Amino acid sequence: MGEGRAGMSAGERERRWARWGARLAACVAVLTAVVSGGIGTAHAEWPERPVTLIVPSGAGGGTDQTGRLLAAALEERFGQPFTVVNQGQGGGVVGIRAIRDAPPDGYTLGILYNFAHYKALGQADFEPADFTPIAQYNFDPAAVQVRADAPWPDLPAALEALRADPETYPVACAGGCGGSWPMAIASLFATEGVDLARVRMIPSQGAAASLQDLVAGGVAVVPCSLPEARGLLQAGMVRALAVFGEERQPAFPDVPTVAETMGEARALGAWRGVVGPAGLPEKVAGRLETAMDAIVHDPAFREAMAAGGFGLAWRDATAFEAFMAAEAEAVRTLIPRLGL
């Protein structure tokens, strides 16, 4: 290429460049003018272009699956594509930061889950006030899993063993200590007198990795949701001692609740909700909340969630905001006691 022009003199080449530069400048000027005209008329009715839904986890996980179900339902209701973007880097920190830092114009929304520990552990500085709550749509209670051949018939026996000898039985922190599942079991330990400073909390990449380590003999107790353990529960390799819900799970009628076994009601576990960055226009947030209300109570959506093993929950914006604030407070007090 260009060999034929090699004979061109330097001066000629320079002039050529200058002419070309001027042409480019003119093009940019015209383009900018056209486009700024376009922007002027762009504020019609939200949403008039595709909306990005940030999922702060990798593709394939529970947050991703529920996020995609929601995106499809929202797309149907608003007539614009809701594009799922997975940002699971740094255990979700990157995705959650992307939601927080997005312009609050309604074109970037996100799925948020138990996030209070990031600040408590010094990994990021997210506050509930950084987000505009829209609605919570999912809650999965934590359950306590042990190996099938574990010596404990029920939860009180396991807690007794941990009380007596906290260092012998490692407890898995699926997805990192401070997340939904370890916080659930840690708050149980706190009230049941298991020494939080001595019990060995073992971090892992997620529930699947923890469960695999449980069967391989690496840890003794894995708190995670029942659907996540379904494969190994069916195989008879793992037993569920109790579930932290208010009532038994319809799909797992044999697993008693913590309330039944310990006489104390608790609903602890993982939640997921839709949020926007702080300062989302009220009109947009309101329309989204109304749509979410309809979606969460839509039989088709409920069926799809149940098929994936996800629990349904409904909290409107106000309740969701209060819930996030309360959770942040609880996690803030619990984490220092774990010695993390």
* Beta carbon nearer to other proteins, 167 or 246: 167
**Alpha-carbon distance 244 to 155, whole Å?**
11
Q: Which is nearer to other proteins, 86 or 321 (CB)?
A: 86
For 223, other C-beta atoms within 10 Å of its C-beta total 26
* Min dist. Cβ of residue 137 to other proteins (A): 17
Interatomic CA distance for residues 115 and 331, integer angstroms: 10
Nearer to other proteins, 47 or 323 (CB): 47
124 vs 278, beta carbon nearer other proteins = 124
Strand extents, DSSP E, the chain = 51-55, 82-86, 108-113, 131-141, 143-147, 171-173, 201-203, 221-224, 238-243, 269-277, 312-315
Nearest-approach distance from CB 261 to other proteins, in angstroms: 26
CA distance 267 to 246: 6
Q: Are 307 and 94 in contact (CB under 8 A)?
A: no
**Does the CA dihedral 117-121-124-128 come out positive or negative?**
positive
- Which one, 298 or 316, has the nearer CB to other proteins? 298
Shorter beta-carbon distance to other proteins: residue 89 or 261: 89
3-state DSSP call for residue 73?
A: helix
Which residues contact residue 164 at a Cβ distance below 8 angstroms, ignoring those fewer than 6 apart?
none
Nearer to other proteins, 10 or 263 (CB): 10
**Contact assessment for residue 173 and residue 182, using Cβ atoms and an 8 Å cutoff:** yes
**Count of residues for the chain?**
340
Closest approach of other proteins to the CB of residue 120, in Å: 11
Shortest distance in whole angstroms from residue 126 CB to other proteins: 11
Of the pair 97, 272, the CB lying nearest other proteins is at 97
Pairing mode, if any, of strands 108-113 and 171-173?
A: unpaired
- Longest CA–CA span in the chain (Å) reads 92
The whole-angstrom separation of Cα 182 and Cα 173 is 5
